[in-house]
Amino acid sequence: MWGGRFGGGPAAVMREINASISVDKRLWREDIAASRAHAAMLAMQGILSVEDAKAIDEGLLQVAAEIEAGQLQEDLALEDIHMHVEHRLSQLIGDAAGRLHTARSRNDQVATDFKLFVRRAIDEAVLGLDALESVLIARAEEHAGDVMPGFTHLQSGQPVTLGHHLMAYREMIARDRSRFVDARARMNESPLGSAALAGTGFNLDRASTAGALGFDRPNANSIDGVSDRDFAVDYLHAAALCSVHLSRLAEEIVLWASQPFGFVKLPDAWSTGSSIMPNKRNPDAAELVRGHSARIIGDLVAILVLLKGLPLAYAKDLQDDKPPLFDAHDLLELSLAAMAGMISDLEFVPERMRAVAAAGHATATDLADWLVSEADVPFREAHHISGRAVAAAEAAGKALDELTLEEFRAVDPRIDERALPRLSVEASAAARRSAGGTAPERVREAIAAARAQIAAR
């Protein structure tokens, strides 16, 4: 298709390194849609005859049907999906096919196709996030009042509610969603009509192709139009951060399903066995979600590095933008679906969580807080007194909330009987009613607020 000025053909390895069809064939739907929009616009502008435009459109639909049916004949000499489609079109309709590429270059064509793909990828990510979000909210509601240990440094710190913990992930997922939505709004300008880089002498109606393809407007600068891949970076960044959130949740599933924790039972549907240890029930899906995040982060880095040294406008390096994007897209879709499935099916073990939350004198802060609010003790001193009570409990081989009033009084006479009921893990969690706190009533409010936010989207 570009052989006019060449005498000899490319070397076999040149052909191989140059070809991208094995990767970019995934863009066939977008390529056909963009070509149909382009041909229709050319006809409206009188650049293409109505008959040729009709032949091209029908031919493109035929090519689409063939590819859909798995009949794409890959040929390295045809390099990429754009030339495959055009070549097949020329076989089907003859000379008119050669007019489709008027006022167009593969440079604006590939930018347009790729944008359409990324836009769809964003829409899919939003759907996946919505599904995960609603599962998290449902499970949080189920366990709004169940107490678990809250950790800092992976040391049991203060009791929290499982609902609160799950809703923390909902916050991350909601931010991820907004990042994808932002990226979509920012990217939705059409490169089509930028041509090779300089625009074209033909009288195009770029707004019409932009509108036909669902873009808000044509992009403003033709050089930027063919060289911009920010939309792919935005997608990959949103995907990478989302995958990091999924990875943290996956890590908790792995930990929680392990015997020393025992906070969750992994259902059969999300477990695998060992070929040697019949006792095993391995959390492979969670581990793979955790692992996939490494690859998605790598994909983001790959495209950033790909772009950083590129002069304007198009360079063939840009052909390498697709493998990381496709890889990240596929991994993210799977990870979101697997995570929604696992969270929905996980069997939480609230008794075990409660027992661990109660161990380790986790309500020592509550005793200190009680001394501050009921006995007017400065917090630093209250902290010290509570620490001595913990030491007394340890010496007596008891949990803090098992000490008798006499034993507490021996630590500090200002502790009275009103302090005792404050030291259960349930009372501790229920006391944390500050805005955004872990008290079950706050968690239920957070759930209602999340549902209102979702309804308003």
Catalytic residues: 153, 274
Residues 311 to 330 in contact with ligand ARG, rule: CB under 6 A:
314, 318-319
The span from the CA of 115 to the CA of 124, in Å, is 14
Q: Whose Cβ is closer to ligand ARG: residue 121's or residue 264's?
A: 121
Rg of the chain over all Cα atoms, to the nearest angstrom: 31
The span from the CA of 223 to the CA of 43, in Å, is 25
Minimum separation from the CB atom of position 4 to ligand ARG (A):
15
Residue 106 interacting with ligand ARG (CB under 6 A): yes
Residue 209 interacting with ligand ARG (CB under 6 A): no
Minimum separation from the CB atom of position 199 to ligand ARG (A):
16
Closest listed residue to residue 180, CA positions, set 248, 245, 225: 245
Helix axes 322-345, 284-308, angle to 10 degrees: 160
**What is the residue whose two structure tokens read 């240990």?**
149
Q: What is the DSSP letter of 201?
A: S
Q: Whose Cβ is closer to ligand ARG: residue 227's or residue 363's?
A: 227
**What is the residue whose two structure tokens read 């501050």?**
372
Residue 363 interacting with ligand ARG (CB under 6 A): no
Site mask for ligand ARG (CB under 6 A), range 40-59, x = bound: --------------------
| Beta strand ranges found along 235-301 (DSSP E) | 264-265
Of the candidate spans 102-110, 273-281, 371-379, 437-445, the one that interacts with ligand ARG by CB under 6 A turns out to be 102-110
Minimum separation from the CB atom of position 314 to ligand ARG (A):
6
Minimum separation from the CB atom of position 317 to ligand ARG (A):
9
| Beta strand ranges found along 187-314 (DSSP E) | 189-190, 217-218, 264-265
Residue 190: strand pairing partners:
218
Query: DSSP characters for 63-130?
Result: HHHHHHTT-----GGG-SHHHHHHHHHHHHHGGGGGGTTTT--HHHHHHHHHHHHHHHHHHHHHHHHH
Q: List the Cα angle 114/321/196 in 5-degree steps.
A: 60
Q: What is the distance, to the nearest Å, from the Cα of residue 395 to the centroid of all Cα atoms in its chain? A: 50
Q: Which amino acid is at 207?
A: A
Site mask for ligand ARG (CB under 6 A), range 260-299, x = bound: ----------------------------------------
Q: Whose Cβ is closer to ligand ARG: residue 139's or residue 329's?
A: 329
Q: Which of 80, 86, 146, 369 binds ligand ARG (CB under 6 A)?
A: 80
When CB distances to ligand ARG are compared, the closest residue is 80
Minimum separation from the CB atom of position 34 to ligand ARG (A):
13
Minimum separation from the CB atom of position 24 to ligand ARG (A):
6
Strands 147-152 and 155-161: antiparallel
Minimum separation from the CB atom of position 32 to ligand ARG (A):
16
Minimum separation from the CB atom of position 100 to ligand ARG (A):
15
Residue 303 interacting with ligand ARG (CB under 6 A): no
Residue 107 interacting with ligand ARG (CB under 6 A): yes
Of the candidate spans 104-112, 141-149, 280-288, 344-352, the one that interacts with ligand ARG by CB under 6 A turns out to be 104-112
Query: 415-441: b or e for each residue (b if 16 or more CB lie within 10 Å)?
Result: beeebbebbbbbbbbbbbeeeebbbbe
Residue 418, C-beta contacts closer than 8 angstroms, at least 6 positions apart: 370, 374
How many CB atoms are closer than 10 A to CB 317? Answer: 11
Residue 264: strand pairing partners:
348
Of the candidate spans 105-113, 185-193, 356-364, 392-400, the one that interacts with ligand ARG by CB under 6 A turns out to be 105-113
Site mask for ligand ARG (CB under 6 A), range 133-172, x = bound: ----------------------------------------
The span from the CA of 434 to the CA of 408, in Å, is 28
Residue 24 interacting with ligand ARG (CB under 6 A): yes
Total residues contacting ligand ARG (rule CB under 6 A)? 9
Q: Whose Cβ is closer to ligand ARG: residue 291's or residue 323's?
A: 323
| Beta strand ranges found along 18-154 (DSSP E) | 147-152
Residue 20 interacting with ligand ARG (CB under 6 A): yes
Residues 110 to 129 in contact with ligand ARG, rule: CB under 6 A:
110
Strands 189-190 and 155-161: unpaired
Provide the binding-site residues for ligand ARG, judged by CB under 6 A: 20, 24, 80, 106-107, 110, 314, 318-319
